[in-house]
Every structure is written in C-alpha cells, then in structure tokens.
A and B are shown apart, each in its own frame.
Chain A
Amino acid sequence: MPSLAAFRAAAAREGSLDATRELEQFLKDVERRAFRIAEIALRNTDDALDVVQEAMIQLARTYADRPSAEWKPLFHRILQNRIHDYQRRRRTRSKVIAWWTGGTREDDEDGPPDPIEAAASGEPSPGTRLENEQAMAALEGALRRLPDRQQQAFLLRSLEGLDVAETAAAMGCSEGSVKTHYFRALKSLREQLGEHWP
C-alpha cells in the first residue's frame, strides 16, 4: 500500500503534468494569432517570432500559477509590452543612424508590404485566393498605417476575439479608451479601404 507521502508526490506530479498540458494547449491555441499581431505591428517576421517566444516564456515563468482564464489577457499584455519595447528600440536606432549618416534614412521596414511576401500560401483556389490575397495585403497595409493603440485595439478584438474588458486589461487602459480606439480604427480602415476593398 503506497504511503501518504508517495500518494502526495504522485498527485503533485500529476497536477504538474496537468498544468503543463493546459498551458501547452493555451499556447498552441494562441500562438499563430499572436504571431500575426506581432508581425503586423513590427513588420518583421523574425522580430515577431522573438517577441512571441519572449511572451510565452514570461507567461510560463511568472503567471503559470494563475487561473487559466486569466492567461489570455495576461499573455497579450506581455506581448504588447514586448512589441512596444521593440518599436521603441527600433525608433531609437533609426534616430541614431539618421543622426550618424546626417540625413533621413529610408527605413525599408516602414515601406508598404510586399504583396508577394504578404500573400498567404493557403489552399490553391485561384480566383478566390487571389482576391483574398489582395484583400489581405490591402488590409495589412491599412492596419500598419494606423496609430499603435488603434492597431492594438482592432487586432485584439477582431483577430484575437477579446472582449472590451479583456482588451482593456491587455492594453493597460480603460474600457472607454478601448472603445474609442477601436471605433476610430474601424472608421479609419473603412476610409482607407473603402474603394479598394475587393
């Protein structure tokens, strides 16, 4: 008959495995959307992958003990902070380079997205796929032209599916601000894409 200590150790191991599985499932569910949010914000695939990995590790290290219902807004809060850090570093670097070279520098990361690179490589269905690729490229371009906070609010709500309260928690602002940013983003996107939205 197993001792009480052995039973407790086994239960702890089982609990730890459950927590690991639960976190794995959460990360698996959220990782692709998180990558797209980061990629649209940073306009760079490798930087986006780096910030997603950093956010995942930070969540596991710091918040894995919290109820799993809290993970999503926490994860996106971490992700947004990382994205903001990268953007700030990049702006500082651009300023230093511009100062060093004595003029404005054409930042290729700020240019319009390459439609070929941006095109999705999904199932081949020529007509619909081409239309969707064009729509996606136009939407990404319009999203990248939005102010950061509007872009965050729109992506967290439309792509990640967070509600207003969760979006406010992820962005670190009030629910009223989320509504304002989201509404302005929507209007701006419609204005930008209205005539060209396929």
Chain B
Amino acid sequence: MNREDELTPMDAAFEQRAGALLRAGTDALDGRVRSRLTQARFAALGELERRASAPRFRIPGAWLPAGALAAAAVLAIAVWVAQPAGPPAAALAEVSAVEDAELLASNDGPELYAEDADFYEWAGSDDPSGGPG
C-alpha cells in the first residue's frame, strides 16, 4: 500500500492537527510529572556512569564453571607433586627387607640359629618372664 496515494487532503489535514495537538499536550504536563521525568533521566544517567566506572575486564558467566574446573585440576596436580615419596609403613617394610638380605648375606650360617633355637624362641615369645629352656 502506498500511503501517500491513499491519504486524502482531509486525512492530511486531520493528521497535522492531531499531531500538533498531541505535541502541544507535552508542553502542558504538570509539575509532578515533569519532576518524575527528571528523576527518571537522572536514574538512567546514573546507570550509565556506574557502567562506565565498572572494571573493564569481567569474566563472562559462562566461563566460571570451566575456570573452577581448571583451578581444581591445578590444585590436585600440586597436591600430588608435593606428596611425600611413600608412607612410613612402606618405608619400614623396605628397611626390614634390607635387614633380611643382610642377615642372609652374613657369614653366620643357618646352623648357628639351629644351635640356639631355644634362645631365639624365647626372644620371640610374648612372655619375657620365663627364661629360655
């Protein structure tokens, strides 16, 4: 539809009069309304200034979960790297194995232990009060 072809001179006159009347009405707003409009404008400008003074760099919300995951991964790696070489029980077992090997490598043959079997049985028992043999 071509508006200019459709409007009659009467339409155009009506259009002009209505527009002028409506625009004149905006000059006649009461004081309360004008005051509220001024407050509204200041509120909008305050918003603009708040936005301008806000830090430029912001982490977008969508990246927060990924950032948290990465931080957790770094922490886990740090804990793992800083961890001691092994638990004390394992260290003791290792020492015990070395001692066994030394005993076996020593010059004292198994027969020595067979000679004093009673003594060793007493030494290994839970009741130190009773003497060997």
Contacts and interface: CB of A to CB of B under 8 A. Distances in A.
Interface string A156-189: 0011010010000000000010011011001101
Interface in B31-55: 33-34, 36-37, 39-41, 43-45, 47-49, 51-52
7 contacts: A23-B45, A35-B33, A57-B43, A60-B45, A135-B17, A182-B3, A187-B11
A139 B28 CA distance: 16
Contacts of A87: none
B21 interface: yes
A132 B22 contact: no
B46 to A, nearest CB: 8
B33 to A, nearest CB: 7
B22 A158 contact: yes
Interface in A1-41: 16, 19-20, 23-24, 27-28, 31-33, 35-36
Contacts of A49: 33, 36-37, 40
Chain B contact surface mostly: helix
Interface in A37-74: 45, 49, 52-53, 56-57, 59-61, 64
Contact of A180 (B1, B21, B26, B36): B1
A121 B3 CA distance: 35
Contacts of A96: none
A52 B37 contact: yes
Contact of B37 (A31, A59, A61, A158): A31
Contacts of A60: 44-45, 47-48, 51
B10 interface: yes
Contacts, number: 120
B6 interface: yes
A120 B28 contact: yes
Nearest to A178: B3
* B interface bracket (residues with beta carbon within 8 Å of A): 35 or more
A183 B3 CA distance: 7
B15 interface: yes
Contacts of A155: 22
A19 B10 CA distance: 43
Given A24-B45, A53-B44, A132 B21 contact: yes
Given A52-B40, A139-B18, A183-B6, 11 more contacts: A16-B52, A20-B52, A27-B41, A33-B26, A53-B44, A56-B41, A59-B44, A120-B25, A121-B30, A122-B24, A190-B11
Nearest to B19: A158
A26 to B, nearest CB: 10
A183 B1 contact: yes
Given A20-B45, A122-B28, A53 B40 contact: yes
B47 to A, nearest CB: 5
